[in-house]
Structure formats: structure tokens, C-alpha cells
Chain A
Amino acid sequence: MPELNLTSAPAHLRHGSNIGQPLTRRDGVLKVKGQATYAADNHPPGMLFAVMAVSSIAHGRVTSLDVTAAKRHPGVVDVMTPDHKPQLAIDPEIKTNPFVFRMEVLQSNEVRYANQPIAVVIAETLEAATEGTVLLAPRYETLPALVGLDADDSYVPPVVGVGNPAEHHRGDVEAGLASADKRIDAIYETPPQYHNAMEPHAIVAAWNGDSLQIDMPTQGLMLSLARVAELFGIPHDKIHIRSPFLGGGFGSKGLMAGPPVLGIMAAKLVGRPVKLVLRREQMYGPVGHRAPTRQRLRIGTDAEGRLIALDHHARTVSSTFDDFYEPAADASHTLYAAPAIRTSHDAVRVNTGTPLFMRAPGEATGSIALESAIDEMAFACGMDPLAFRLKNYAEVEPITGKPFSSKALRACYDEGAARFGWAKRTLQPRQMRDDSGLLVGWGMGTATFPALMFQAEARAVLRRDGSGAMEIGAHDMGQGGWTALAQIAADAVALDIDRVTFKAGTSDLPDAGIAGGSAHTATAGAAIHSAGAAVIAKLADLATNDERSPLFGAGNAGVIARDGRLVRRDDESRSESYTDILARAGLAEVEARGTGAPNPAAMEEYAMHAHGAVFAEVKVDPELGQIRVTRMVGAFAAGRIVNPHLVKSQLFGGMIWGMSFALHEEAITDRRSGRIMNANLGEYHIPVNADVPPLDVITVEEHDPHVNALGIKGVGEIGITGSAGAVANAVWHATGVRVRRFPIRIEELLTQL
């Protein structure tokens, strides 16, 4: 029987009752009890510990390593260096596809950024390996480091983000600005930010002959497997990756980075299993980060406050040896209805690890600048920020002119504003205070993130004992994949969720695509939905072709699945259980596969985005300049909500990160050395619980018949957009001081208050 692909079929054909339920995490108890096995919890027999030595210079060359001293240290087994390492099958500098980024796996003595791996010490204990890295006492030939947004001559990158043109335009921006009644021209800066997932990158690698067992957190099982296969020259079926749980990914664990490859190399070198876990400071270099930006926004309006031109330029950085460009200016493509829009990027090369994906790459950096600028423009027009946004509401996608597949943003504005009490806001800044004299400010921002889909496959099984199974190499990064995807699986085979074995998180399962781009639930969900439909169709074939079945002659499409039974669509009194159908057919089980994929025709026709509106209240001490966020309300429309409980958590997390973006988070780079001076959780500030105010999330109902069969848009990243700008705008509204460098530092407010 051919496999069915129902990804473009309307969602309402399904009759399940799991999707939409606020189930608590099915893996929650395991995690609370410490029984969820993360990569670094694995200890195969004979395992050794590997610790990376990393460069303390940002540019130059390692001239010596005291390998002898390191090897003399008790417990040290071996030291892997450029001169002593297993050969890879291909040069790691070769980019074999657009999702391959260059990595440092001891291919040379060259140093391209601080914290770059320069050797790996392998020892019987973690402590011995750690001391071994100190005893290596590396010496360097140091070259001047390129640091910051003005480090070098700029250039226009070939593409930004994933294959987007660096420049876009629609209409004549300069003419629009020239004819504008009011205009603003402002420059905003965002800092470098680094990944600080609770779980650092980690790997336990064990070779058995030419077979390789890997325990490693990954957001992309099959992409990682393919990269490992080509680097080590072994077939895919010789590699098995287990990644049942991630302690956060946020884009840093999507593509294979250098450190886990070093772990595999180390295991090969010593012929024993090896564990390699990054120290916190080693996260600040070889595993991707969010590049800094400097963004100039020029906006013009007519006398009625209608946008007539929007020009958004972003300067960013990439590494000296590879290309990834934070597509910050692209945030201006979709939100506001300006007849003339231009977005452009330029970049300089600096001595850092290559910047890569970090939760809402481009959207997060672009959003805080755009939403600040829109706020400034609204004030210049004498308009309330919400009224201004509504006046410039985009009925079609501004940069393309395409209609939206769905867009409930107006409802987000309405419901968010009502819940927040926005109507009582003063137009002028610095007009609101609380009883203790603190300045109070209210700000808002619009949230947006594209609704993406990748490719995925799933396998569904129905068994004679009335149970089912769904298999897909999907990823739970903490977002709740074990739960939400299992809900979709249960509905897909019309069984109670407890009757369906949901298998995920290993590379021997069907490819679920990458868990990124806020697309995993949509993509894996579509494959699950499709596989479920396919296995039900097989079962229906068995029943409707069997004279002994009450469903005989109903036709494949004449039955529907409900609660473990097939029911005749035109006569619900006639039904038969899965168990009876399989028993009579003499089958132990029936299985089928299904795929999920984007629909190119729909993508051509529609612009697909999730939307939201975030409202923030801050209080500011009028003398000391200290800021505290006291309230946030976010209303989001993201298509079908599979699990409201988990979705709220995702959106809370995004809103907190938005607040962090506006007020806390920044990697401090020494401008002379290129070293990051706060590469630890004590000094790289993210909000603590005491910083997080009461958060309120509203999910606005939105039916989208075009994005995919289930109507899912994804919520992984959108929460950070809008939120950062809302907090920044609230600080302005409280104080009348517009700070355009993020995070907002106390000294910038202090001198102007």
C-alpha cells in the first residue's frame, strides 16, 4: 500500500480529543526525580574523561604545548593535539552543504577566536584531565584581534540568515522619506549574546570497531548523524545517536559543532569510550552565538500618521573564516504597512567563533530596534503607540504583497491591551508614578515569527492488543515534545494517549527534521498525523474489504477512527475495534509511514507568520535609575495550540528572554584582546526569579487552513520578539529617556534622569 501524505488535508477531518488539552509534561516526574538520562549521565564501562584546552588569545597561532608535562600528570592517558589525532575522512574546512559550518577540530595551530579548542586532554578522571589542560601551558604567537562592529572594512554579505538576500526593497524609500511629514532617524545597538542553556554541550562517544554509539544533546539527530558520517567516513547505519532529553538547545545544538566531534576523535584515539562536557566558559566561542548589531532605522509618515517609508539597515559581524549573518533588518518585512520598505545589511569580520542561530535569530535583534523606532515614530506623530500600530496594520505582507495565511494580530492587540489596561496610559512620558514616587512606564511591542515547516517522516503501528506506537526521531529540548507530539500521535491513531507508545529521540527512528525555526511541532506533528492516517487507512482497507466486518463495503474513506474503533461514517451504529479487525486478519500488527513537509503552493500564495502583542510595565527609581519590570501581558496568535500548558511555558520563556534582552544580557568583550570577560553565569546576567514579574499569556484563537494539516504555526521563538521592545519602550515612557543601546545600563539613565 502506498504511504499517504495528508499534510495538506484540512485538520478538521481528525476527531481526536488530545490536541488542545493542557497535559502536564509526561517526562516531568522523571526529571524531578533525576531519572531522565541526559547525555553526560551516561557512563559506559571503561569510559575516560576528555577536557578541551582552549585558546586564551583571539588571533594568532599556538607555538608550543607542554604535552610532556600534561602526560606526566597522574591519570592523564593521552593528549590530542594537531600533531597527534585521528585523521578525519574529509577536511573540516570544506562546506559540503549550506548547513555545514567550519569547526575547529585541531586541524591546525591557527587560532581564530578566544576559547577555540587547541588540544584535548584525556584522563581517567575529570580532575586529572582538567589539570592536564593547565599543565599544557600553551604559548602563542599573538596577532592583533579584530573586535567589535567597527573592527574592519565592511562588506555586503552574499546572504543573511538562511539564504535570504542581504537587501530587499519595495517602493522608493528615499522619495518617501523626502516627502514625509514627520520622520525619525535613529541608531540602535544590540550586544553579542552567548548560549547559556542549563546543559552545556556534552558527548559520550563509544566506538565498537567501526560502529559508533553517541550520547549527545542535539536538535538535529539526522543532520548531526550525516555530519559525523562524512567526517569519520563511516556509513550512516554504523552510527547510533541517543538524545532523549536536552537541557535547552535554543539553536546552539542544531548543527554539529566542533567540541562533540573532538569527543568522538578522542574516543577513537584512545580506543575507549570518552565523555567530553564543555565548561561554562567554553560555551563562549565554539558553539555559536548571537552576533552584535548596529541598526539604523529611518521612518517617515504622512500628516495622518500613516507610514510612507521604512528603511532598516543592520550592521553585524561574522567570523574571519565562515559566514553567518544575523538577519536583523528582515524584521521590517512583515509587520507594518509602509508602501516603501528597504532592508539592508552589511558586516565586518571579527575574531569570534562563527555567530549562529540563537532563539529568533534576526527577529529578536531586529524586533527590539524596529519596535523602539515605531514607538519613537508614534510619539513624533503625537499618537498612542497602539493606535499608531493599528493605523499601520498590514493587511497583506508589506514586502511581498502576499495575503497572510491567517493573521489574528488585531485580536492580539485588542485582548492584550484590554487585559493590560492600556487605555489608561498617558501619551506623554514621565507622567505616571506609583504611591512611593517611582516612575511608571507602559510600553508595547508587536511580536512576529515566520511559520516554517521542514521535512519529517514518522512510522505508526497498531497492534492486536489494542495498543499503538508512533516512532519519530523527534527532539525534546525542554519545550515538551514528549508530550505535545504524543498528543498528536494519540489523535492520529485515535487511541487514548496512554495506549500509544511514543518513541523519539534516537537516530534509528524516522527523520523528524531539525528542531529549530519554531517548526518542530508543525513538522513532526504533520508527519505523525500523516503516518496515523496511513495506518488507519490500512486498517480500514482490511475491514472494508472483509465480508465478515460490519464495515464491509464502506470504502476506505467511508470510515473514521474513533477511540480504538473504526466507525462507518454514514452509520455510526456500525463499527469494529482495531483489535477485532487485526485478529480476524490474523495480523499481530499493521504499520505505515507518513511524511510532513511544507506545501510549496501554499507558501507561494501566502505569507505565513505567527503574531502577537506584548505589553510591559516598568518602574524606575527617579534618582537611582534602577529599573524593575513589574508586569507583562502577551497575547499571541500562533495557529492551533496543541498543548496550552506547554505553549504558555514557551511564551513565558520567550517573554523573559525579551526582558533579558532589554535589560540584562550582554557578553563583555575586552576590546584589546577579544576575550570575553564575563563568560560565567555569575557575571553574564540573565534574569533571576526575583526579576521576573507576574506574566500573563493569552493565546488568541486562530484557524489557519494553509500552513499545514494541523494548522500549527509554532511558538518556540515568537515570545522574545515584541517583548524586548515592549520593555525598552516602557523604560522610555517611565523616564522620557530613550536609550538605544541594549541592554539598557544604569549609567545611561542616571545621567539623563
Chain B
Amino acid sequence: MKQFDYVRPATVKEAIAAAAQPGAAYLAAGTNLLDLMKGNVSRPDRLVDVTHLDGLDRIDRLGDGSLRIGTLVSNADLAHDVEFAKAYPAVAEALLSGASAQLRNAATVGGNLLQRTRCAYFYDTASRCNKREPGSGCDARDGENRTHAVLGWSESCIAMHPSDFCVPLVALDAIVEVEGRGGRREIPFDELHRLPGNTPERETVLEPGDLIVAVRLPAAARGFAAHARYLKVRERTSYAFAIVSAAAALRIENGKIADARLALGGVAAKPWRARPAEEVLKGVSPTADAFQEAAWRALTDAKPSGNNAYKIELARRIVARALTLAAAGTPARIPALPASPFASSGAIHA
């Protein structure tokens, strides 16, 4: 592989200075970046290893009731943190439905947010890809694209964001804490990732050197803990990305939906917050009809980007099901098959 410099800064400030240089990339667990480098998809000149920076691997409850998750907390450690899983069960379920146990042990919070699309044409350096090589074209558009985006795509790029973790995070209004050359700032989760437009190579609003240091879940997000689920349809039970997934969270008071949160995964270049669908649900009873209407509203703007029209119908059904499951109540413990439609199944009868 290409030779590169490897630096291990002692402080966040040094890390930012090192990573702000052209050709530099942050390295955390490397579960995605190293694969990209081995495949010659990414060719950084310098890796800035942040895994030894102090204080970024903590989970802290803050005075305002929010939970601050350090960027270096592993996916597994976070999912198995008892308080976290109790307060944000859909996030824990999403985490446990992602990747494999081995990857979850390594992968970090910040790295998960910044993982690249799994579009095969992005990975295949012989193919044209506007994300990998701006202006080269998109071979996915007329290629093997049955799993590609159905929302927010452009003629330049039809790739989708693969994360499970990000889906409930965007639904719950998480905040991304970033340190950069200009100091610290906070980015609402829904504003972190960009849609492709004509610049699919720019996937987030982060600037060179920006380091995600934490993700914060607001106190208000705890209000959904009793009715929160993540549901993921995939082509095998583990170690597969979502074809479509949904995070649904409801606050039910006196038999009515006081507040609703809904986001979809596997449908767009970013985790897709479905606000119009949430509006439909507010103040109504949690009925099948209401969930169906929400499902239609969530996909109003969807259109196939290729041989993937089925994903729109599938997404509608997943939304309705996720809302149904959320309304039924968060299970006492995360199912053995997290986020699976087969999470509960029982005796057979004819």
C-alpha cells in the first residue's frame, strides 16, 4: 500500500494542527479507513491517530440531564452501558444491529458517524465515481443499484449512508461536538451530513482538521425511552448493512402521541429524519391508520434511483412496523436478534 506518515499527537490541539494539512486523515479504530486504504480507495499521506488522546472515551451524564458520549467510546461499550441503553434503547438496539461483534468492539462513535458509503462503485477504483473522483461520473446510476438511495439523491450520486447508529441519533436530536481550528462548536446531528447535490465528495459540514470529540443526547430524548425501537431489514442477520431501517420513538400521554420521532436508514446519503411524518403523528392516537399515514408521508419525496423502487414500498412498511413496535413499548431487554423482525417469535400453529 501507499507509504504514509503516522503521527500520534498528545493533545486535541496538536491533532487538529496535524490533521488540518492537506492529505491528512484521522485514524481511530480504522475499521473503515484501513479497508479503504488497502483497496486503494483512500490514499492519505498522513494518518493522525487519535486513539490515545485523553478524555475522549468517557460517557458522562451532564448537569442538564443530557448524556455526553466521547468520540472514542467503542460501539460495543456504548451499547452495553446500562444507563445509556435504558435511557436511549433505540440507539443501543441500532448499535447492536450493526456490523459484527468484532467490529463493534473496535469501532468508535466518531468513526461510525464518518464512515463512507458502501456503494460498490465507490469502492471499485476502476469505476467512475463522483464521490471518489469529483467530476468523473457515476457508474452506479445505470449499474447494479438495487440497494441505492431513494431519497435525497442526485444525478451525481445515488450512494447511501450505511450507519445504523446514526439513524436513532438523528431522530433524537443528538448534538455533535466538534473541535476545530476555530475552537469548539456544536452541530445539530441532522446538519452534520450533507446530501450529494453536485458535490458528493463533500459528505459532511466538517472542515479540514475538525475532530468530532463527542456526541450529546439531550435530556428530552429520554422522554421516548418507553416507546423506542430500531428496525432493520437486511440480507443476513449480522454483518450486513440495512436495505432499509427505521428508528421510531414516541411519547405517549393519555393514549395520545404527545411527540414522535422518526428517521430512516439505508435510503439516502444521510440518516433521514422524517419530520413531515412526525407532524402527522403528534396529538393523534397510536393506531395502525395513523402509522400508515405517517409511512406515506415519510416517503412522499422518494423516487427510485435505479432498480430499487421496491425500497420505497419496503421503507413504508418498515416505518409502519417500527411505529407499531414503538407504540407497543420498548422491550425490557434488547432482543437477542437486535432490530430484527424476528426479534420475537413463538409457537407454530396451522
Contacts and interface: CB of A to CB of B under 8 A. Distances in A.
A529 B187 CA distance: 74
Interface in B95-134: 100, 118, 120-121, 124-127
Interface string B274-289: 0000000000000000
Interface in A615-631: 619, 621, 623-626, 628, 630
A434 B349 contact: yes
A250 to B, nearest CB: 20
Contacts of A303: none
A424 B40 CA distance: 55
B237 A434 contact: no
A436 B348 CA distance: 9
B23 interface: no
B313 A619 contact: no
B313 A690 contact: no
Contacts of A688: 100, 236-239
A687 B142 CA distance: 29
A676 to B, nearest CB: 9
Nearest to A424: B350
Given A677-B124, A746-B243, A621 B238 contact: no
Nearest to A672: B143
Contacts of A433: 348-349
Interface stretch (B173-181, B208-216, B254-262, B339-347): B339-347
Contact of A685 (B142, B144, B236, B320): B236
Contacts of B142: 672
Contacts, number: 121
A679 B23 CA distance: 28
A689 interface: yes
A682 interface: yes
Interface stretch (A127-135, A285-293, A311-319, A706-714): A127-135
A69 to B, nearest CB: 13
Q: Give the residue among B239, B340, B348 with the most A Cβ atoms within 10 A.
A: B348
Given A131-B2, A436-B344, A624-B233, A750 B350 contact: no
A677 B121 contact: yes
A739 B205 CA distance: 44
Interface string A419-438: 00000101000011111101
Contacts of A675: 124, 126-127
Nearest to A279: B38
Contacts of B2: 131, 134
A629 B127 CA distance: 36
Contact of B144 (A56, A664, A668, A747): A668
A624 B346 contact: no
A434 B1 contact: no
A121 to B, nearest CB: 12
Contacts of A436: 344-346
Contacts of B243: 746
Nearest to A664: B236
B317 A623 contact: yes
B341 A624 contact: yes
B347 A624 contact: no
Interface in A105-127: 127
B1 A131 contact: yes
A678 interface: yes
State the main secondary structure of chain B at its contact with A. loop
A746 B345 contact: no
Contacts of A678: 120
A670 interface: yes
B1 A127 contact: yes
Interface string A431-469: 111111010100000000000000000000000000000
A573 interface: no
A751 interface: yes
B318 interface: yes
B348 A434 contact: yes
A135 to B, nearest CB: 9
B350 A56 contact: no
B118 A750 contact: no
A626 B347 contact: no
A7 B342 CA distance: 52
B124 A689 contact: no
B34 interface: no
Interface of B: 1-3, 38, 40, 100, 118, 120-121, 124-127, 139, 142-144, 146, 233, 235-240, 243, 310, 313-314, 317-318, 320-321, 337, 340-342, 344-350
Closest 8 CB pairs of A and B: A435-B346, A56-B126, A747-B310, A690-B237, A677-B120, A621-B341, A690-B238, A688-B238
Interface of A: 56-57, 74, 127, 130-131, 134, 424, 426, 431-436, 438, 440, 619, 621, 623-626, 628, 630, 664, 668-673, 675, 677-678, 682-683, 685, 687-691, 745-747, 750-751
Given A626-B233, A628-B340, A690-B337, 19 more contacts: A56-B126, A57-B126, A127-B3, A134-B2, A432-B349, A434-B347, A434-B349, A624-B318, A672-B139, A672-B143, A673-B139, A682-B239, A683-B118, A688-B236, A688-B237, A690-B237, A691-B236, A691-B238, A747-B314
7 contacts: A434-B349, A670-B143, A672-B143, A673-B139, A691-B238, A746-B310, A747-B310
